[in-house]
Amino acid sequence: MVATIGAVASASQGVSYYERDGYYATDDPAHKEASAWSGRGADALGLSGQVDPGVFKAVLEGRVPDDSGQRLGRRRNGKFVHRPGRDLTFSAPKSVSLAALVGGDERIVAAHDKAVKRTLGWVEKHVAETRLREENTGRMVRAGGQEMVAGTFRHNTSRNLDPQLHTHAVLANMLKGGDGKWRTMANEKLYASQRLIGAIYRVELAREVKRLGYGIEKTHADGRFEIAGVSRKVIEAFSTRRAAIVAAMNDRGLGDTKTNPRLAERAALMTRAHKRDVDHDGLRAHWEKQAEALDFDAKGLAALAGSGKERGAAVAAAPEGAAISKANGAAPSTGAASGAARDAVAWAVAHLSEREAVFSRTDLLAAALAWEPGAVT
C-alpha cells in the first residue's frame, strides 16, 4: 500500500518511534537530515529545517510553540487530554527503493522527497479541516482553509530490514485558521481521501522517476508501478515484510491485501517486529550480496538511467495541474496536456462505471491519476 494513515499513540512514544530509523545510527548527521518540518502552520511558527525532538514532542502534546502559551485539548480530572495527531506514511515501490538504496541513486531519494512535499501541499489545501460553530445555527461544522503543522521523517528500511524508502508525515492535531486561532484537526476528510492521497504521491513520484531516465511499468489498475527491468523475482526477494503480511492474512482467511486494505493494516500491526538500530554500511553490504546472488545489477540500472536522463525528461512533460484543473472544471490547457487530461478522465469514468453506477469525485480523481503513471498531475 502506498499511503497509510495511523494514529500516533502518544507524544513521547511518537518522538522515540520516528527518531529511530533502523538504517542510520542515531548520531549520524544523515539521520537528522532525514527529518523536516512541513506545512504553512509550521512556517507561521518559525519551524523549518530538521525536526527538533523537544519541539516535536511539545507540538504533539498540543502546546503551541509561540509566545501565547496556548495548549490545545481538554482538561479531564486535572490533566490535559489531547490526541497527538495522525501518521500519514508514503512508501515507494520496491524497485524504486532498490534503485535508490542498493543502486545508490541519491536522485531517487530527492524525487521521493519532492513527491511527498507536493502531496502534503495538496493535503493541506484540500483535506486539512477543523470544526467550528456556526454563528447563525450554533451547529458544529467542518471548515477548510487551515494551516498545517507536520514533521516528516524519511526512513530507509522495513521492519524486516529490507530496503524500503518511505516517509512518515506526522500531521499534528494542531491547525491555524484564517482568523489566526489554533484549533484541533477533524480527521474525516483525511481518511475519506486516503486513496486519492496515495494516487497523488504515486503519480508525482512516477513523473520524477521518469525525468531521471528510468522506464516504468504500470502493474495494477490503481496506478501502482515498478521500474522497468526489475524482475518480479527480485522484488519478491526483497519484500519479506509484505510476504509476512500476506501469509498472516491467508492463515486467518482474511482474503487478499488489495480487496481488504483495512484488514491488511491489522495484519501488518500483528506481524511487525520491533524497531532496532543497525549498522548502515553492514546493511548495505548485505543488500548488495543479496542482489548479486539474484543476478540483479542495481548500480548498472541506476547508471543506465543516468545516461538517458534527457530522454526521461521528455517522457514526463505534462505541466503541473493538467488533470486536476480539468477535473475541477477549470479552463482546459492547450495541446497534449489537455488531451492527456481528457483521456485520463474518460478512462477513469469507463473503469469506475464497470462496477458502480455512482462514484465519488475523490474516486474519479484517483482513477484518472491511475490511467498512466506520471502522464498527468
Which residues are catalytic, by number?
A: 17-18
The three cell numbers of residue 139 are 451547529
The three cell numbers of residue 122 are 495538496
Cα 342 to Cα 323: distance, rounded to the nearest angstrom? 8
Cα 283 to Cα 195: distance, rounded to the nearest angstrom? 33
Within 8 A by CB and 6+ apart from 372, the residues are 218, 340, 344
Cα 58 to Cα 308: distance, rounded to the nearest angstrom? 47
Residues β-bridged to residue 157: 163
Q: How many CA atoms lie less than 13 Å away from 337 in the CB half-sphere?
A: 18
Distance, C-alpha 166 to centroid of its chain: 7
Neighbours of 97 (CB within 10 A): 27
Residue 40, classified by CB atoms within 10 Å of its CB into exposed (0-12), middle (13-18) or buried (19+), is middle
Compute the chain's Rg from CA coordinates.
21
The three cell numbers of residue 16 are 522515540
Distance, C-alpha 5 to centroid of its chain: 9
DSSP 63: B
- Asked if 167 and 155 touch (Cβ cutoff 8 Å), the reply is yes
- Asked if 166 and 91 touch (Cβ cutoff 8 Å), the reply is yes
Residues β-bridged to residue 80: 75
DSSP 333: P
DSSP 186: B
